Structure 1
Amino acid sequence: MTTPPITDQPKLARTLTRDLGQFEGQTVKLQGFVHARRDLGGVQFVVLRDKSGVAQCVGSGLHLPLPESSVEITGTVKAHPKAPGGFEVQIGELRVLSAATQAAPVEIPKMEWNVNPETMLDYRYVSVRGLRERAALRVQGEIVQTFHTYLRAQGFTEISTPKIVSAGAEGGANLFKLDYFGEQAYLAQSPQLYKQIMVGVFERVYEVAPVYRAEEHATSRHLNEYLSLDVEMGFIEDEEDVMELENGLMAAIMAHLKEACAAEFELLGASIPAVPARIPRITLMEARQLVTEKFGHHVGGKDLDPEAERLLCQHYAETEGSDFVFVTKYPRAARPFYTHADHNPDGSLNPDFTRGFDLLFRGIEITSGGQRIHDHAMLMDSIRAYKMNPEAMVGYSEVFKYGMPPHGGFAIGAERLTAKLLGISNVRYARAFPRDRHRLTP
């Protein structure tokens, strides 16, 4: 008795739209969403969108489902100079995997030029599928990936800290309150206190996690929930060690984006900046003086206002070709209680200024950091000077009785960095589902 021959054809594997050029003249199977459709009578066009891009598909006698339907198209790849990527698929079979039951609330291919931005956010559950929208999120994903890989290569350990806390890391009133089984609690505005404690464990630590700020801002640069990329490192000399680490991190991020996200930057018409071997530094007082003398802009308050940040970045772009600048030596009133005081030339402490810094990029602050206080007596003096309750800080302050090394760190707002890199005018569009003072859904 002989075994009958196997006649089943091998299963056709899925091809991504970006790879069509490898299969010219061959039969492929595409799976994705109906991005757009046209019926010209005898000829029908479907633009199929998958995770890698879009492809033009051409057929006849087809029943075209509504846009955003999930479909599978089998057909032959042909070169076509006007098709995306230079190739199209001549449809042999179109199979609907999951039909859209009604028209999408926004026309995804046309969102850029005729959709109100607030409408895009109202219908974010579907508008986020847009090519430009997902390009921004992919770039952000690659930023986060490089943050992980670079820091691990530098000997850092990833940590995870509580997001329900009994006190704010930075004091103030910008805390979301919670009822924690009858006790007052808050959503964490920063992992700062915990990452300092963990320096006593791993010496070099980082975290990628959301943080929460109950600030009633309604600006293009603020979110009430954002993704914070936090770093803390022990056994430093001063804040220069921290700035050097961030300089290298930024260089690694930009190098990776050039390799991984060239298509996304091209789609969004954005450029990837060069990172100087040593990012320029300027003290806050010198920065204020510079923007006043060069641009006639007078800065009030204890920090740089948004216009001063823009002008300072303009200066360094014009004079040194750098999109980045560190602003250093912030006054004590402009920094949190845990920031280390600066030193005078004779080595004594200068209580009026700190070893805190900001990193500005293309006109906006993307990082705040500095050296932290590691001496217990100095820390307790600072807590009292900031009119904070020492008893409420015991869970944090006690560790400084046990030999905490000199340490410092910084935090990067992932959405703000993404927005500035890609020229996105509002930071809300650099987060999949943003939370601002007016938006709790979707």
Structure 2
Amino acid sequence: MSISSSSPALPRTLIRNLPQFEGQRVRLLGTLHTRRNLGGLQFLVLRDRSGTVQAVEQHLDLPSPESSLELWGTVVRAPKGGLEIQVEGLNTLSSAQTTPLEIPKLALVHQATALDWRGLTVRGLRERAILKILAAVLRGFRAALDAEDFTEISTPKLVSAGAEGGANLFALDYFGQAAYLAQSPQLYKQMMLGAFERVYEVGPVFRAEPHATSRHLNEYLSLDAELAYISSEEDVMELETRVLGRIVQEVSGCAAELDLLEAKLPEVPAQIPRITVADALELLRREYGYTQAGPDPDHEAERLLGEHFARAGSEWVFLTRFPASARPFYTYPEGEETRGFDLLFRGTEITSGGQRIHDYEQLRAATERSGLEASLQDYTEIFRYGMPPHGGFAIGAERLTALLLGLGNIRLARAFPRDCHRLTP
């Protein structure tokens, strides 16, 4: 429905800017969030991208919730504090049918049902707040690396081979050839260092792993960074520490969303604690009686380590010196160990990183041992023409967001999650 000629010739005012207009007439555009009648008065809550406000009037012809409205009136003090609108008139721009779920009551809706109706339920205030925090995480990541002279790149998501090998690849037909969805931009990041020295990417990655946990997605947003001319993996960990500090700073600016979600942001220390994998497994055995069969700490080990270091004052801990058997072929070796690391936050891995092999002959031998020499020839050949010492890391954006906000499930930190049971909407 078009706006009627009876609306005032006023520019649109966003709800967050209403304090600037107390006592003045304003024109708002937004969605009817809720409505109710009380003592002959009609109360409605209008929602726009910046917030919500109550509006009051008699004899309004209100449509159903989630209808789009143009509303005008005077900004006044509400009896119980804050501001509200004394309505002079409104137009219905788009009338909504009765929704299958009540947006203000999504906390009562089963999570699977809410995800089935995700295109609708992202309108909920909490749901929208989570995604605004995710956007702040991305802004902080980009801002930190832009400030350190990194160049943002975009790499292919249709590839002829996996960056890490293994079976966790989504295969597809590419004009009669076998192709895959990219499980990481890792190999392309490394190749781009010869041109830019410092690169990053924000983009989706795909893992064909049949996980059905609250920590995993089959498509997620990876925050990747790679830098050249490093001395060791310590340079990479120091960079990531600065990046995380900038991310938390950016998220702290979302005060209204953090209040709504009752989230407590962590401190990022100037020096995040480090512990080698060998020492960590020994600590778990000695202090907690916990043992595991493999060389790579499992989720229970990560949880215990998170609790241990939290008691010592840090919600973050770097696990370093992973054994070669637990790292991809391109990780820089050092005896039986590597210069690879993980970062744990609140007892869950959010990052994998380390120094990479930069010598051509060493890299070619590593791909040969891994059985990937033929499929990765385009990648290894670039190293024949010189590559500086380098390393990098990747952060799972949704996992970091979920942990920052204390969400119980990573799916809530993605607008339209994809897992092994969900391909719609």
TM-score per shorter chain, which class? Answer: over 0.9
TM normalised by structure 2 equals 0.97
* 1:274 shift after superposition: 0.8
Q: Contact 2:27–2:71 at 8 Å: present in 1 too?
A: yes
1:337 aligns to 2:338 (yes or no)? no
Give 2:258's aligned residue. Answer: 265
Give 1:31's aligned residue. Answer: 29
How many residues align? The count is 420
CA distance in 2, matches of 1:297, 1:70: 57
Amino acid at match of 1:92: E
Q: Contact 2:27–2:70 at 8 Å: present in 1 too?
A: yes
CA distance in 2, matches of 1:48, 1:413: 35
Give 1:439's aligned residue. Answer: 422
CA distance in 2, matches of 1:211, 1:250: 21
Q: Contact 1:32–1:71 at 8 Å: present in 2 too?
A: yes
Amino acid at match of 2:373: P
CA distance in 1, matches of 2:320, 2:296: 11
Q: Contact 1:222–1:427 at 8 Å: present in 2 too?
A: yes
Of the structure 1 ranges 362-371 and 302-311, higher mean CA displacement relative to structure 2 is found in 302-311
* 1:64 shift after superposition: 1.2
5+ residue gaps in structure 2? Answer: 1-5
Of the structure 1 ranges 376-385 and 185-194, higher mean CA displacement relative to structure 2 is found in 376-385
TM normalised by structure 1 equals 0.93
1:107 aligns to 2:90 (yes or no)? no
Give 1:87's aligned residue. Answer: 83
CA distance in 1, matches of 2:142, 2:80: 40
Secondary structure of the equivalent of 1:390?
coil
Amino acid at match of 2:156: P
Of the structure 1 ranges 195-204 and 388-397, higher mean CA displacement relative to structure 2 is found in 388-397
Which of 407, 417, 442 aligns to 2:390? It is 407
| 1:107-256 equivalent positions in 2, closer than 5 A | 107-112=102-107, 114-256=108-250
Amino acid at match of 2:296: D
Tell me the alpha carbon deviations over residues 83-136 of structure 1, each in whole angstroms, 9 at most, x when there is no partner.
6xx111111102111110x21121111111x10000110000000111111111
Q: Contact 2:72–2:89 at 8 Å: present in 1 too?
A: yes
Of the structure 1 ranges 374-383 and 237-246, higher mean CA displacement relative to structure 2 is found in 374-383
CA distance in 2, matches of 1:292, 1:75: 67
Q: Contact 1:292–1:299 at 8 Å: present in 2 too?
A: no
Amino acid at match of 1:209: G
CA distance in 1, matches of 2:331, 2:38: 67
Amino acid at match of 1:241: D
* 1:307 shift after superposition: 1.6
**CA distance 1:82–1:290, shift in 2 (3 Å):** farther
Amino acid at match of 1:375: D
Give 2:284's aligned residue. Answer: 291
* 1:81 shift after superposition: 4.9
State the identity as a percent: 60
Amino acid at match of 2:351: T
CA distance in 2, matches of 1:145, 1:250: 12
CA distance in 1, matches of 2:387, 2:89: 67
Secondary structure of the equivalent of 2:375?
helix
* 1:291 shift after superposition: 2.0
Amino acid at match of 1:13: P
CA distance in 2, matches of 1:29, 1:324: 47
Give 2:410's aligned residue. Answer: 427
CA distance in 2, matches of 1:397, 1:371: 16
* 1:82 shift after superposition: 3.2
* 1:145 shift after superposition: 1.1
Tell me the alpha carbon deviations over residues 394-430 of structure 1, each in whole angstroms, 9 at most, x when there is no partner.
1100011111111000001100000000111110110
Q: Contact 1:199–1:205 at 8 Å: present in 2 too?
A: yes
CA distance in 2, matches of 1:427, 1:355: 29
* 1:389 shift after superposition: 3.4
Give 2:3's aligned residue. Answer: none
Tell me the alpha carbon deviations over residues 40-63 of structure 1, each in whole angstroms, 9 at most, x when there is no partner.
361111111111111011111011
| 1:271-282 equivalent positions in 2, closer than 5 A | 271-282=264-275
Of the structure 1 ranges 14-23 and 135-144, higher mean CA displacement relative to structure 2 is found in 14-23
CA distance in 2, matches of 1:303, 1:82: 56
Give 2:378's aligned residue. Answer: 395
CA distance in 2, matches of 1:290, 1:105: 52
Give 1:385's aligned residue. Answer: 369
Of the structure 1 ranges 392-401 and 300-309, higher mean CA displacement relative to structure 2 is found in 300-309
RMSD: 1.4
